[in-house]
A and B are shown apart, each in its own frame.
Chain A
């Protein structure tokens, strides 16, 4: 989310899948959309039929490449060089959309005089603290903007970090501290203006450097850059589509940032056929960050309170809100959330029960939790609809961690590997674990299927769609709604009468949901109504604009406010597409405020007129004095284009009539991100944590801010190690889904993709004596797995840095159970993480590959260890 969030203001796809059909050029990178989002891909094909260029840049030649107008193969982990090369191409050839860049982005803003770019400092930005392995971002700020003034007076934990509250996790728009408006140079000539910094930063990303680093040709690269630029501007728009091929890197967030810069320079955000389409891989993965089952945020991207930071709610709100833009109303969002959770127990006198919230310190993410399990400090774990024993990086560490727990609850449709690790996990076979010695108590609770319950999924384009219940779940099967509701009910019964202050939050919690039927299933619609929010009379709210900071409104997730307008479940709307306009506003409900293409104010010029007739979408109607068009305007409907805020205007009123990015404190698209990211204001190429190559752009090899572990279970290969000479990347197949829990156990799908395999090029097959259809063993410092060999020209070797590099492709769906079984690719992966979102780097690792099956029993860990020692991997 932070890649998009810090650039534009919201951590969600800027557009929708259908709108891809309006593109003149679609660049798909970090995604094999044809195979992994096949039904959404129909819109790409539709664009192509209308004459659009479809460009696929990917390490593998896939079905997406096969139907693209152009495929360019690049080395896994080199995308920032390729995209940075495009930035350089745009700037060198003067291809940027000048009016858009000057008026809608922060390109003219002047940066702090002490800012030192990575260009001039061996790949490190100013503010690097090598002891803490963190940046102090003070010098990254805008000149003339007072950095959070009171930082020194706050608690110690806030010292050294001047990032304002919500921007700290970067999932949405940046706040800006109080003070004067930033200095600007409208001519874009000031040496410290962002435009000039950008020019210098990407000057070394030449076509030749792209070719040598990524392994493509200069001509291939230039053709992509030229095509993209030719299809952007007033009359034409280009879109980017990406998936986890971009995100699952130790610099994952910065991949998306680079594309954001390209799209801002070319003026492609907020316009039909433009945008950045984040292709998410689970039915409600967007929803599970909006209403987060994540440790560091509360619903609607409000930040979880920290242990050290606040003197009560006002202080929290002060730090969480921005003075300008829609985050200026963070107090209304937060108080309404607290009212939704603690109802009448949340009063002005007790800070609306703000103190009831638990506090976080730093990283409590899933990989940190695994480390804590291994250390023995996490005792109990509940897993609901996830299979870390197969799906998370470093499967062995995951399984060893589960074996250290006191108790484990697994809720799923089938008995997944995370439930059975104690009986048939790979470590049982290798002798590293013995069933009789594993103390973990395991509860397996069968879940309800999607047709046995009702509720909403939020899809990849921020669209909430309701699914209804067709039949009742059988026997012990229950929905998660049932499980968590009744769990809460029983805990509250158990603790009833407690006088311990720690139990007040659970006893005061609003937990009255109507139930029905034999199973006493709670009403999902009642929960949706709470999420939507209501006024003091219990009347459903229609918009987040109605939320108040005085406790008179309640709302469980402010960005979803409006989904239950008039007491009607808007997510359940299914007006057929043939009965409405192509934007289809009456199918489901999109956050925010049912806007389908966000930042759409940018589809009009500063004066409010469409940039061109061909790309008109939302515009100012001077007669009606409002914004109108094909979509709900993502702007104050009545705010005229020439509106200029007073100097002391606050909140949304401080956003000018010509600034389209209303969640940002300055209303601008952020080419340069002064705050909100841990690893730099501008994307910079770093090699993957494990790479066969030295970083040819900077002295700094890998992302300095990446997270690593000290675990014995998580050793790493040194850069350029000849023991692990190949690049390995993981991916999905059309017929399977993630860790396989929902597909490997199904007859049809198991038959369609019946075995774990490894894709290699004929050249690598010759080099390593691999035969098509035979077995091969793939080994990393963590594990060795076996797979059937698929020799294919699709895995083209690349010429990088003067030598040939082979890439190895592995689907990651297999595990020890199901109708089809096989070794898990993620066992090879390490737990080095991106520092912004703690994501694992499973898209670019190093490995060796050998013919034949892997060793069995105790010989397996010995085989892995011997190679590791030879490589000097720790």
Chain B
């Protein structure tokens, strides 16, 4: 049989003793909720991050336990966001580990009707093949007027506004060196 609670734990006594006469404050807290701890309290580490959605630039804190991200929250230290996140930022843990996330390379051969498996190494080698081949087959040393061109117009690259500056930098640097000029992204104006 469950022991009766001590007198001092009775709600009415707590209300009076704890100065919470209306019972709307701490006195209303149950033992269970008192013992609840936030998930983040047991995190092994906290990693500072930035929200990946819009350009407000809200600061985030990613809580990690056992090598997994267990929570992403707003960072109150930010002078811009002051700890707040919108629904997207608050859901960004799902962006990281949601059920639709893809983890494996997929390959669709010409005229194929299904995806096929492919190793990342093979995929990289095949992409290298295609870039080198396409570039060679469609290279322009000069324009028809004889002006220097040093390029291929047969390959394009799209994307960048959701990426890191360092990623964009390598992208632009590499593709320019290859003579690929159609490097474009969402940013227009």
Residue contact A386 to B185, C-beta cutoff 8 Å: yes
Residue contact A467 to B48, C-beta cutoff 8 Å: yes
B17 contacts partner chain A, Cβ-Cβ < 8 Å: no
| Stretch of A127-135, A455-463, A780-788 that contacts chain B | A455-463
Q: Write out the residue numbers on chain B whose beta carbons fall within 8 Å of the beta carbon of A411.
A: 159
Q: How far is the CA of A449 from the CA of B75 in the complex (A)?
A: 19
Q: Write out the residue numbers on chain B whose beta carbons fall within 8 Å of the beta carbon of A836.
A: 189
The residue from B111, B155, B156 contacting A438, defined by CB atoms under 8 A apart: B111
B91 contacts partner chain A, Cβ-Cβ < 8 Å: yes
A450 contacts partner chain B, Cβ-Cβ < 8 Å: yes
Residue contact A746 to B94, C-beta cutoff 8 Å: yes
Q: How far is the CA of A39 from the CA of B101 in the complex (A)?
A: 26
Q: A280-B55, A509-B177 are contacts. A414–B50 as well, Cβ < 8 Å?
A: no
A40 contacts partner chain B, Cβ-Cβ < 8 Å: yes
Tell me the chain B residues, 62-97 only, with Cβ under 8 Å from chain A: 62, 64, 67-69, 72, 75-82, 84-89, 91-92, 94-96
A516 to chain B, nearest CB (A): 15
User: Scoring A residues 537 to 564 as 1 if CB is less than 8 Å from chain B, else 0, what string do you get?
Assistant: 0000000000000000000110010000
Most buried by A among B88, B113, B158, B182: B158
Q: How far is the CA of A365 from the CA of B184 in the complex (A)?
A: 6
A730 to chain B, nearest CB (A): 15
Q: A294-B187, A441-B110, A470-B49 are contacts. A487–B127 as well, Cβ < 8 Å?
A: yes
Q: How far is the CA of A256 from the CA of B165 in the complex (A)?
A: 25
Q: Write out the residue numbers on chain B whose beta carbons fall within 8 Å of the beta carbon of A369.
A: 156, 158, 182, 184
A279 contacts partner chain B, Cβ-Cβ < 8 Å: yes
Q: How far is the CA of A418 from the CA of B158 in the complex (A)?
A: 11
User: Scoring B residues 139 to 157 as 1 if CB is less than 8 Å from chain A, else 0, what string do you get?
Assistant: 1010101011111011111
Q: Write out the residue numbers on chain B whose beta carbons fall within 8 Å of the beta carbon of A366.
A: 156, 158, 182, 184-185
| Stretch of B6-14, B18-26, B31-39, B130-138 that contacts chain A | B130-138
The residue from B81, B123, B143, B188 contacting A445, defined by CB atoms under 8 A apart: B123
Q: Write out the residue numbers on chain B whose beta carbons fall within 8 Å of the beta carbon of A471.
A: 64, 67-69
Residue contact A382 to B103, C-beta cutoff 8 Å: no
Residue contact A450 to B161, C-beta cutoff 8 Å: no
A317 contacts partner chain B, Cβ-Cβ < 8 Å: no
Q: Write out the residue numbers on chain B whose beta carbons fall within 8 Å of the beta carbon of A373.
A: 156
Q: Write out the residue numbers on chain A whose beta carbons fall within 8 Å of the beta carbon of B125.
A: 490
A444 contacts partner chain B, Cβ-Cβ < 8 Å: yes
Tell me the chain A residues, 468-515 only, with Cβ under 8 Å from chain B: 468-472, 474-481, 484-488, 490-491, 494-495, 502, 505-506, 509, 511
Chain A contributes a number of interface residues (CB within 8 A of B) equal to: 175
Residue contact B181 to A502, C-beta cutoff 8 Å: no
B167 to chain A, nearest CB (A): 4
Residue contact B88 to A749, C-beta cutoff 8 Å: yes
Residue contact B88 to A364, C-beta cutoff 8 Å: no
Q: How far is the CA of A781 from the CA of B51 in the complex (A)?
A: 38
Q: Write out the residue numbers on chain A whose beta carbons fall within 8 Å of the beta carbon of B141.
A: 502
Tell me the chain A residues, 737-753 only, with Cβ under 8 Å from chain B: 737-738, 742-743, 745-749, 752
Q: How far is the CA of A355 from the CA of B102 in the complex (A)?
A: 41
Residue contact A455 to B165, C-beta cutoff 8 Å: yes
User: Scoring B residues 92 to 133 as 1 if CB is less than 8 Å from chain A, else 0, what string do you get?
Assistant: 101110111111111111110101001010011111101110
Q: Write out the residue numbers on chain A whose beta carbons fall within 8 Å of the beta carbon of B28.
A: none
Q: Write out the residue numbers on chain B whose beta carbons fall within 8 Å of the beta carbon of A454.
A: 164
Residue contact A1 to B87, C-beta cutoff 8 Å: no
Residue contact B120 to A355, C-beta cutoff 8 Å: no
Residue contact A293 to B148, C-beta cutoff 8 Å: no
Q: How far is the CA of A839 from the CA of B169 in the complex (A)?
A: 23
Residue contact A444 to B85, C-beta cutoff 8 Å: no
Q: A359-B150, A361-B143, A481-B164 are contacts. A294–B156 as well, Cβ < 8 Å?
A: no
Residue contact A307 to B159, C-beta cutoff 8 Å: no
Residue contact A293 to B160, C-beta cutoff 8 Å: yes
B68 to chain A, nearest CB (A): 7
Residue contact B69 to A748, C-beta cutoff 8 Å: no
A291 contacts partner chain B, Cβ-Cβ < 8 Å: yes
| Stretch of A73-81, A574-582, A646-654, A694-702 that contacts chain B | A574-582
Return the chain A residue nearest B45 by Cβ. A470
A489 to chain B, nearest CB (A): 10
User: Scoring A residues 57 to 93 as 1 if CB is less than 8 Å from chain B, else 0, what string do you get?
Assistant: 0000000000000000000000000000000000000
Q: Write out the residue numbers on chain A whose beta carbons fall within 8 Å of the beta carbon of B150.
A: 355-359, 502, 505
Q: Write out the residue numbers on chain A whose beta carbons fall within 8 Å of the beta carbon of B118.
A: 443
Residue contact A291 to B143, C-beta cutoff 8 Å: no
Most buried by A among B55, B120, B137, B169: B55
Q: A307-B149, A372-B153, A479-B167 are contacts. A37–B96 as well, Cβ < 8 Å?
A: no
Q: A17-B80, A369-B184 are contacts. A379–B161 as well, Cβ < 8 Å?
A: no
Q: Write out the residue numbers on chain B whose beta carbons fall within 8 Å of the beta carbon of A436.
A: 111, 113
Residue contact A455 to B103, C-beta cutoff 8 Å: no
The residue from B84, B162, B166 contacting A527, defined by CB atoms under 8 A apart: B166
Residue contact B162 to A291, C-beta cutoff 8 Å: no
Q: Write out the residue numbers on chain B whose beta carbons fall within 8 Å of the beta carbon of A863.
A: none
| Stretch of A100-108, A229-237, A281-289, A715-723 that contacts chain B | A281-289
Q: How far is the CA of A252 from the CA of B130 in the complex (A)?
A: 38
B56 contacts partner chain A, Cβ-Cβ < 8 Å: yes
Residue contact B134 to A406, C-beta cutoff 8 Å: yes
B173 contacts partner chain A, Cβ-Cβ < 8 Å: yes
Q: Write out the residue numbers on chain A whose beta carbons fall within 8 Å of the beta carbon of B45.
A: 470
A589 to chain B, nearest CB (A): 11
The residue from B67, B87, B179, B189 contacting A837, defined by CB atoms under 8 A apart: B189
Q: A359-B147, A372-B153, A837-B189 are contacts. A295–B170 as well, Cβ < 8 Å?
A: no
Residue contact B108 to A441, C-beta cutoff 8 Å: yes
Residue contact A379 to B134, C-beta cutoff 8 Å: yes
Residue contact A476 to B132, C-beta cutoff 8 Å: no
B30 contacts partner chain A, Cβ-Cβ < 8 Å: no
The residue from A287, A360, A407 contacting B130, defined by CB atoms under 8 A apart: A407
Q: How far is the CA of A556 from the CA of B34 in the complex (A)?
A: 55
Q: How far is the CA of A381 from the CA of B158 in the complex (A)?
A: 8
Q: A288-B168, A379-B138, A407-B130 are contacts. A1–B55 as well, Cβ < 8 Å?
A: no
Residue contact A451 to B72, C-beta cutoff 8 Å: yes
Residue contact A39 to B85, C-beta cutoff 8 Å: yes
Residue contact B169 to A282, C-beta cutoff 8 Å: no
Return the chain B residue nearest A530 by Cβ. B169
Question: Can you report 29 A-B residue pairs in the complex whose CB atoms are below 8 A from each other?
Answer: A18-B79, A282-B53, A283-B161, A284-B164, A288-B163, A292-B187, A293-B159, A293-B163, A341-B173, A341-B177, A355-B150, A359-B151, A382-B159, A386-B160, A437-B111, A438-B110, A449-B96, A455-B166, A457-B164, A468-B48, A480-B171, A505-B176, A505-B178, A505-B179, A522-B170, A742-B52, A748-B91, A749-B87, A838-B188
4 closest cross-chain pairs (CB), A and B: A455-B164, A459-B57, A293-B160, A282-B161
Q: Measuring CB to CB, which residues of chain B are less than 8 angstroms from any residue of chain A? A: 45, 47-60, 62, 64, 67-69, 72, 75-82, 84-89, 91-92, 94-96, 98-111, 113, 115, 118, 120, 123-128, 130-132, 134, 137-139, 141, 143, 145, 147-151, 153-174, 176-189
- 6 A-B pairs besides A288-B185, A468-B47 with CB distance below 8 A are A282-B161, A436-B111, A441-B109, A466-B50, A485-B170, A748-B94
